[in-house]
Amino acid sequence: MTDVLPGVHALLLAADPQGPMNFWPWLVFTAIKMLVFFTIYMLGVAYLTLAERKISAWIQHRHGPNRVGWSGFMQPLADGVKNFMKEETMPPYVNKALFVLAPMLAFIPAMTVWAVIPWGAPWASPWGRVEMVLADLPIGFLFIIAIASLGVYGIVLAGWSSNNKYALLGGLRSSAQMVSYEISMGLSLIPILLFTGNVTLSSVVNSQASMHMWNVLTLSIAFLLYFISAFAETNRLPFDMPEAESELITGYHTEYSAMKFSLFFIAEYANMATQSAMLATLFFGGWDVPFTQADNTGAVSFPLVLLSMALMMAKTLFFLFVYIWVRWTLPRFRYDQLMSLGWKILLPTGLGYIIVVASLMLGLDAAGIERGFVYGLIFLGVNIVLVALFMVFLDRGKILSAAYGRASIGELQRLRDITTSRTRLSTTAGD
Amino acid sequence: MATKRTIEVALSTSGLDAEGRPQRVPLVVDGGGSVTTLEAPPALEPELEGEHMLLNLGPQHPATHGVLRLVLELDGETVVRCIPHVGYLHCGFEKIGEYRQYNQIIPWTDREDYLNSPGNNVAFALGAERLFGIDITPRCTVLRVIAMELSRIISHLVWLGTTCIDIGAFTPFLWAFQERERVYNLLEGWVGARLTTSLTRVGGMAADIPDGWMDGLNSFVKTFPKTIAEVDKMVTRNGIWVGRTIGIGAMSADEAVNYGLSGSMVRAAGVAYDVRKDFPYLEYETYDFEVPVGSAGDVYDRFLVRMEELRQSVRILEQASKRLPDGPVNVDDARVILPPKSKATSEMESMIHHFKQVMEGPRPPAGESYVAVESPKGEKGYYMVSDGTSKPVRWRIRPPSYVNLSAIPKMVEGHLLSDVIAINASIDIVMGEIDR
C-alpha cells in the first residue's frame, strides 16, 4: 500500500505536457494502451473475417452471412463459439509436441508486431507526453521484419508435424516463399532507411511530413516491391501457395481443427492487419495529418490525436480492403512462377533501386538541395520514369497487361512464345 | 482346384525399384477371388530412401471433380508418373438398363453425366427412335436443340466455374453458377425438375414448353453473353491466368486423335471435329454456328474453345427460338405414345392401349442402333441392341469424359502438381459418366 500511494500522488501531479512521464503514469497509460489496442486488434481481426465474407459476397453478387445478429454482425462471435465447441482432432503418428506448438508459433508473432506500430500523434497530456504506440522501439521496423519472419516456423512445423503429404508440401512451399519474399521486403525498406536515417516508425512518419510528400510518391518502386512482398508474406492470393485449397486441400493446416485451426486463421488476418498498418505507416504518411505541421512538432491536443488515429485507421482499412479485393479478383500463381518473380524480378529491382536512390540522394545533397518539398519533387520525377520502366520490364506483355477483352491471335502467339519456353520442367528420373 | 493367376498390381508402398519408381508387386488371385500378396506386408514406417514421393490425389480431394483418384509420383513437386484410378462411382447403369423399358432408362441417363441431363435424354431418345424407326415432329426437333444447347451451357458453366476455382480465381465460379441457376429455372419451368430432368420420351418430349417460356429463354439469351464478357475481362488476358494455362498439358493434333479425344479437347488441339457439323442430327446442319478450334491444345486453348462454344450455343439458341414451329410435340405413333388420359379413362380401347404401353412397354423391332451426339464433354454415343422385346438386351454408353481422361498421364507428366489440377480441370470430367 505504501508503494501505491506515492503512485496515485504522482498520477495527480501535473507534469510538462511535452516532457516524458513519470513512472506511475507511464505504467497506467501503458496498461490502458495495451487494453485498448489489443481489444481493437482482436475485435478488428474477428470482424475482418466478416468483412472478407461481406466484401466477397458483394463482389460475387450474393448476400454473405446475414443470419446471426443484425445483417450477420454477430457472425464472428458465432464462429468463435463454434471453434471452441468443435472437437480437437489429432491424426495418428503426428509429432504431438510440434503439432500443438505450431499454431502458437504462428499466432504469437502476429500479435507481437502490433506493439510497435504508431497509431497517432503523441498526446500532450497533463501527465506528460503520451506516445500513441505501445513500444516505440529504437529498432522500429527491423523488429517487425524479425518477428514477422518467425511466423513461418509455425507454418513449416505445422506442415511437417501433421503426418500429411499435402500439409508437408504446403509447409515446404511456405518456407521457400516466405524466405524469398522477406529478402525483397527487406530490400524495399532500405530506401526508406536511407531517406529517414532511422528505423523507428515515428521518424518515418515525421520524415514524410517534413517532405510534404508521402513515401509512395518519392519511393514508388519500393512501395511496389513492399506491396507485392506483403501479399506473399501474408500468404494471401495470388500468393496463397501454402494453402492453395484446390491443390493442397488447405495446405499446412489440413489436419488442424477447432481452435488450433482458428489460431492459424486469426494469425493470417492479424498479419494482414499488421502489413496494412505497415503500408500506411511506411508509404502513406501514417498518422500524419496532411497539410498541417502542428502534429509533427511535438505532443498535441487530444482531438488532434483522435484525428490522426482516425486517419491512420482509415489508411489501414483501405489496405485491408485492397487485400480482400485482390483475393477475390485474381487467380493464383504457380509455385515456380512465384519463386521466379521473387528472385528474378523483385530482388534485382530492389537492389538496383537502392543504388539509384542512394546515388540520387548523394547527388542532391552535393548540389545542396535541402530535404524538403523540392527534394521530394525531384524524387517524384525520377520515380515516375522508373515506374514506367519497371512496368515495361516486369510486364513484357504478360503480367500487368490489361486483363480486358479477348486477345487477338497475334497477341496469343506472342504470349505463347514467351511462356512455352519455360513450361515442362525436366524430370530427373522416369521415362 | 481353384485356378490361380498372377497379376501385377500397379503400385505398392514397399519400396522403389532401380529406376526410382515404386515396385510392382505380383499378386496372386485365386479362383475364389481373394487376393494374397506374395510379399511381406509393408512396414508401418517405410524406409526414407529414394527421392520420389507418392501422392494420392483423391478420391477425396476438392479439385478432382468427384471421386477421381490420381496416384502421382512426385519428384519435388514435378510429376514423374501419374496413374488415374476410376470406378469409385460405379453404379452399373448399363446393366440396369437391360432390365428397364426404353422410357424407363431415360431417368438413368440423367444421372450419368449429371451436368448434361437434357442432352443425355435427347441423345438416348434419338438412339431409341432410330431403333423404333420413328421420325420426330418438327417442333420436337427444335425443342430438343434448345434442350441440348441449354445443357451445353449448364455443363460449360460448371466447367468454367470449377476451372476458375482450381486456378485460384473464386469469383467467376459464382458468376457462372448464377447464370446456371437461370438455366435451371428455365428447365424447372419446362419439366418441373432442375438437375435430373428426364426431359424426353421415345417419340417426343415429356412436356411441351409452357406459355411464356420462350420469353424467359429470350431474356436469358440476351443477358447471358454479358456474364461471359465479364468473365472474359476477369481472366482471359490476366497475366497470372495466362501464365498458369498456356503451354500446360499440350496435346498435338495427332496425339489428340490417337488418344481418341473428342469435343473441346480435340478441337483445342486443332482438329475441327464436331459431331453437330460432321454427322448432323436434329437438323443441326441448318443452324448457322461456328466450331472454334485452338492451335496448341493446351489448357488455355481449351479454355478459349469452351468460352467460344458458350457464345456459339447462344447463337444456336437465338436461331432455334426464332424458328420454333407450332404443331404437335409427340409423334402420332400408337406404338410409343400413350393415349390422352381423358380417353384412357373413358374408352375401352384406349384404356387397354394405355395398360399395355405402361405394363409391357413399347417394343422396337429387333436390331441395333448407335447415335452419337456432341455432348459438352465430347462425342457421346448411345448404343443399344434390341431383340424385339420391350427392353434392350444391351445398352452401352460411349463416355467422352472417360476417353478424354485416359490422356491425363500423357498430359501431366513433367508438369508441376499445380498444373495437374489445371489440366484435370481442363479435361472437364464428370465421374458419373466415367464410372457409370
> At residue B4, does pLDDT exceed 60?
no
In which residue are the cell numbers 484410378 written?
Answer: B85
A23 CA: distance to closest CA in chain B (Å)? 53
- Residue of chain B with shortest Cα separation from A60: B171
Average pLDDT over residues B149-178: 90
- The pLDDT score that the predictor gives to residue A1 is 47
pLDDT band at A416 (very low <50, low <70, confident <90, very high): low
Using CB atoms and an 8 Å cut-off, which of residues 277-296 of chain A contact chain B? Answer: none
> At residue A284, does pLDDT exceed 70?
yes
In which residue are the cell numbers 472437364 written?
Answer: B428
B241 CA: distance to closest CA in chain A (Å)? 6
- The pLDDT score that the predictor gives to residue B74 is 83
Neighbours of A6 (CB within 10 A): 12
Please list the residues that pair with B83 across neighbouring strands: B71
* Contact (CB, 8 A) for A132 and A287: yes
Interchain CB distance below 8 Å, A333 and B417: no
CB contacts of B77 in chain A (<8 Å) are 169, 335
Torsion of CA B64, B65, B66, B70, to 10 degrees: -20
Q: Reduce the DSSP state of residue A423 to 3 states and report it.
A: coil
CB contacts of A331 in chain B (<8 Å) are 164, 167-169, 235, 238, 240-241, 244
> At residue A279, does pLDDT exceed 80?
yes
pLDDT band at A355 (very low <50, low <70, confident <90, very high): very high
CB contacts of A237 in chain B (<8 Å) are 168
State the best of A62, A245, A424 to mutate against chain B, taking most chain B CBs within 10 Å: A424
Greater pLDDT, A393 or A83? A83
Q: Which positions ≥6 away from A297 have C-beta within 8 Å?
A: none
> At residue A424, does pLDDT exceed 70?
no
- Residue of chain B with shortest Cα separation from A399: B239
Neighbours of B330 (CB within 10 A): 19
Q: Reduce the DSSP state of residue A101 to 3 states and report it.
A: helix
Q: Which candidate from B19, B55, B416 shows the least CB-CB separation from A334?
A: B416
CA torsion through residues B75, B77, B83, B89, sign: positive
Using CB atoms and an 8 Å cut-off, which of residues 27-56 of chain A contact chain B? Answer: 56
- The pLDDT score that the predictor gives to residue B317 is 92
CA torsion through residues A60, A65, A66, A69, sign: negative
Interchain CB distance below 8 Å, A237 and B239: no
Can you tell me the distance from the alpha carbon of B261 to that of B203, in angstroms, rounded to the nearest whole number? 31
Residue from A161, A162, A166, A164 nearest A249 by CA? A166
Q: Which positions ≥6 away from B307 have C-beta within 8 Å?
A: B160, B228, B231, B232, B236
Q: Where are the beta strands (DSSP E) in B178-333?
A: 200-201, 204-205
Q: Which positions ≥6 away from B386 have C-beta within 8 Å?
A: B131, B364, B365, B366, B367, B368, B392, B393
Distance from the Cα of residue A117 to its chain's centroid: 11
- The pLDDT score that the predictor gives to residue B79 is 85
Interchain CB distance below 8 Å, A237 and B168: yes
Distance from the Cα of residue A33 to its chain's centroid: 21
**Span B44-69, pLDDT tens digits:** 555 555 578 888 887 888 777 888 88
Question: A334 — contact with chain B (CB < 8 Å)?
Answer: yes
Domain-embedded: residue A10 = no
Average pLDDT over residues B292-302: 85
- Residue of chain A with shortest Cα separation from B301: A412
* Contact (CB, 8 A) for B158 and B115: yes
Interchain CB distance below 8 Å, B174 and A61: yes
The region of weakest confidence among A95-104, B75-84, B254-263 is B75-84
pLDDT band at B123 (very low <50, low <70, confident <90, very high): very high
pLDDT band at B152 (very low <50, low <70, confident <90, very high): very high
The region of weakest confidence among A135-149, B173-187, B311-325 is A135-149
Q: What cell was used for B420? A: 495437374
Domain-embedded: residue A95 = yes
- The pLDDT score that the predictor gives to residue B185 is 92
CB contacts of B296 in chain A (<8 Å) are 416, 420
- Residue of chain A with shortest Cα separation from B294: A409
Can you tell me the distance from the alpha carbon of A61 to that of A331, in angstroms, rounded to the nearest whole number? 18
Interchain CB distance below 8 Å, A423 and B52: no
A314 CA: distance to closest CA in chain B (Å)? 26
Of A215-224, A382-391, B149-158, give the range with the top mean pLDDT: B149-158
> At residue A417, does pLDDT exceed 80?
no
pLDDT band at B28 (very low <50, low <70, confident <90, very high): very low
Angle between helices A23-59 and A302-327 (to 10 degrees): 30
Can you tell me the distance from the alpha carbon of B408 to that of B429, in angstroms, rounded to the nearest whole number? 11
Rg of chain A, C-alpha, whole Å: 24
Neighbours of A313 (CB within 10 A): 17
Classify B93-398 by CATH class: mainly alpha
Domain-embedded: residue A13 = no
Average pLDDT over residues B77-95: 87
Can you tell me the distance from the alpha carbon of B331 to that of B136, in angstroms, rounded to the nearest whole number? 6
Give chain B's mean pLDDT. Answer: 84
CB-defined contacts A:B, below 8 A: 153
Residue A400: half-sphere exposure toward Cβ, Cα within 13 Å = 13
- The pLDDT score that the predictor gives to residue A242 is 67
Length of chain B: 436
- The pLDDT score that the predictor gives to residue B383 is 92
Can you tell me the distance from the alpha carbon of A57 to that of A154, in angstroms, rounded to the nearest whole number? 30
In which residue are the cell numbers 510429376 written?
Answer: B79
Can you tell me the distance from the alpha carbon of A114 to that of A278, in angstroms, rounded to the nearest whole number? 10
Greater pLDDT, B238 or B1? B238
Percentage of chain A lying above the pLDDT 90 cut: 3
Q: Give Cα separations from B269 to A47, B105, B160, B239, B258 (angstroms).
A: 48, 35, 19, 22, 12
CB contacts of B68 in chain A (<8 Å) are none
The region of weakest confidence among A365-379, B122-136, B380-394 is A365-379
Average pLDDT over residues B25-32: 47
Question: A240 — contact with chain B (CB < 8 Å)?
Answer: yes
- The pLDDT score that the predictor gives to residue A328 is 87
- The pLDDT score that the predictor gives to residue A421 is 42
CB contacts of B415 in chain A (<8 Å) are 423-425
B165 CA: distance to closest CA in chain A (Å)? 7
Eight-class DSSP state of B22: B
Q: What cell was used for A239? A: 500468393
Domain-embedded: residue A5 = no
pTM: 0.83
* Contact (CB, 8 A) for A230 and A149: no
Burial of B138 (0-12, 13-18, 19+ CB in 10 A): middle
CB contacts of A393 in chain B (<8 Å) are none
The region of weakest confidence among B33-47, B94-108, B250-264, B385-399 is B33-47
Can you tell me the distance from the alpha carbon of B156 to that of B374, in angstroms, rounded to the nearest whole number? 13
* Residue ranges making up the domain that contains A63: 31-398
> At residue B12, does pLDDT exceed 70?
no
**Span A196-221, pLDDT tens digits:** 888 888 888 888 877 778 888 888 88
Interchain CB distance below 8 Å, B78 and A332: no
Number of domains in chain A: 1
Domain-embedded: residue A1 = no
Can you tell me the distance from the alpha carbon of B209 to that of A72, in angstroms, rounded to the nearest whole number? 41
- The pLDDT score that the predictor gives to residue A134 is 80
> At residue A431, does pLDDT exceed 60?
no
* Contact (CB, 8 A) for B319 and B288: yes
For A329, list phi and psi in degrees, rounded to 5.
-115, -40
- The pLDDT score that the predictor gives to residue A406 is 45
Interchain CB distance below 8 Å, A331 and B236: no
Q: Which candidate from B21, B168, B418 shows the least CB-CB separation from A335?
A: B418
Q: Which candidate from A238, A331, A416 shows the least CB-CB separation from B296?
A: A416
Q: What cell was used for B334? A: 400408337
CB contacts of A336 in chain B (<8 Å) are 416
Burial of B194 (0-12, 13-18, 19+ CB in 10 A): middle
Average pLDDT over residues B229-239: 81
Can you tell me the distance from the alpha carbon of B311 to that of B314, in angstroms, rounded to the nearest whole number? 5
- Residue limits of CATH 1.10.645.10 in chain B: 93-398
pLDDT band at A158 (very low <50, low <70, confident <90, very high): confident
Question: A338 — contact with chain B (CB < 8 Å)?
Answer: no
Fill in the amino acid letter for B270: G
In which residue are the cell numbers 461471359 written?
Answer: B228
- The pLDDT score that the predictor gives to residue A426 is 35
Using CB atoms and an 8 Å cut-off, which of residues 358-417 of chain A contact chain B? Answer: 395, 398-407, 415-416
Domain-embedded: residue A134 = yes
* Contact (CB, 8 A) for B101 and B243: no
**Span B357-413, pLDDT tens digits:** 888 888 889 989 999 999 999 899 999 999 988 899 999 999 999 999 988 888 888
Interchain CB distance below 8 Å, A247 and B55: no
Q: What cell was used for A198? A: 532511422
Q: Reduce the DSSP state of residue B381 to 3 states and report it.
A: strand
Domain-embedded: residue A418 = no
For B117, list phi and psi in degrees, rounded to 5.
-55, -50
B309 CA: distance to closest CA in chain A (Å)? 14
Q: What cell was used for A167? A: 500439409
